[in-house]
Amino acid sequence: MRTTSTPRARIRGLGAATAVAGLLIGLFTAGPAAATPDPGDTTPVRNDVTAAQAADARAAIASGEIPGVDEIVHSPNIEHLVNIPKDALKGTNSDLAFQGKYAFAGNYDGFRVFDISDPANPKTVTQVLCPGSQNDVSVSGDLLFLSTDSSRSDNSCASTSQPASVKESWEGMKIFDISDVANPKYVAAVETFCGSHTHTLVPERDNVYVYVSSYGPNAAFPDCRPPHDGISVIKVPRDAPEQARVVGFPVLFPGEGPDGGGNPGAPTNPGVSKTSGCHDITVLPGKDLAAGACMGDGILFDIKNPENPRVIDRVQDNVNFAFWHSATFNQKADKVVFTDELGGGGAATCNATIGPNRGADGIYDIVGKGDDRKLVFRSYYKIPRHQADTENCVAHNGSLIPVKGKDLMVQAWYQGGISVWDFTDSRRPKEIAYFERGPISATTLVGGGSWSAYYYNGFIYSNDLVKGFDVLKLSDKRTDKAARIRMDELNVQTQPDYFADFGDKD
What does DSSP assign to residue 393? B
The pLDDT of residue 260 is: 84
Residue of 335, 306, 348 lying closest to 445 (CA atoms) = 348
461-482 tens-digit pLDDT: 999 999 999 999 999 999 999 9
The pLDDT of residue 56 is: 86
What does DSSP assign to residue 343? G
The three-state (H, E, C) secondary structure of 84-101, written as one string: ECCCCCCCCEEEEEEECC
The pLDDT of residue 273 is: 96
Would you call 79 exposed, middle or buried from its count of C-beta atoms within 10 A (0-12, 13-18, 19+)? middle
Say yes or no to pLDDT of 254 above 60.
yes
Scored b (16 or more CB within 10 A) or e, 328-366 reads bbbbebebbbbbbbbbebbbbbbbeebeebbbbbbbbbb
Which of 254-258, 357-361, 485-489 has the least mean pLDDT? 254-258
382-413 tens-digit pLDDT: 999 999 999 999 999 999 999 999 999 999 99
What residues are paired with 137 via a beta bridge? 146
281-311 tens-digit pLDDT: 999 999 999 999 999 999 999 999 999 999 9
- The H or E element that residue 10 is part of is helix 8-12
Cα(192)–Cα(171) distance, integer angstroms: 7
Say yes or no to pLDDT of 378 above 50.
yes
231-244 tens-digit pLDDT: 999 999 999 999 99
63-92 tens-digit pLDDT: 888 999 999 999 999 999 999 999 999 999
Confidence of residue 99 (pLDDT cuts 50, 70, 90): very high
Say yes or no to pLDDT of 52 above 80.
yes
Which of 1-10, 60-69, 157-166, 250-259 has the least mean pLDDT? 1-10
Say yes or no to pLDDT of 18 above 50.
no
The pLDDT of residue 49 is: 82
Cα(411)–Cα(396) distance, integer angstroms: 7
Say yes or no to pLDDT of 165 above 80.
yes
Output the pTM of the full model.
Answer: 0.92
Q: Helix (H, G, I), strand (E, B), or coil: what is residue 63?
A: helix
Say yes or no to pLDDT of 4 above 80.
no
23-37 tens-digit pLDDT: 223 333 333 223 444
The widest CA-to-CA distance across the chain, in whole angstroms, is: 60
Confidence of residue 490 (pLDDT cuts 50, 70, 90): very high
Q: Helix (H, G, I), strand (E, B), or coil: what is residue 242?
A: helix
Q: 316 preceded by cis ω (within 30°)?
A: no
Judge whether 361 and 291 are in contact, CB under 8 Å.
no
Judge whether 260 and 267 are in contact, CB under 8 Å.
no
Cα(149)–Cα(463) distance, integer angstroms: 19
The pLDDT of residue 502 is: 62
**First vs last C-alpha separation in the chain:** 33
What does each C-alpha distance from 326 to 101, 140, 217, 480 come to in angstroms? 26, 21, 20, 26
The pLDDT of residue 6 is: 41
The pLDDT of residue 10 is: 41
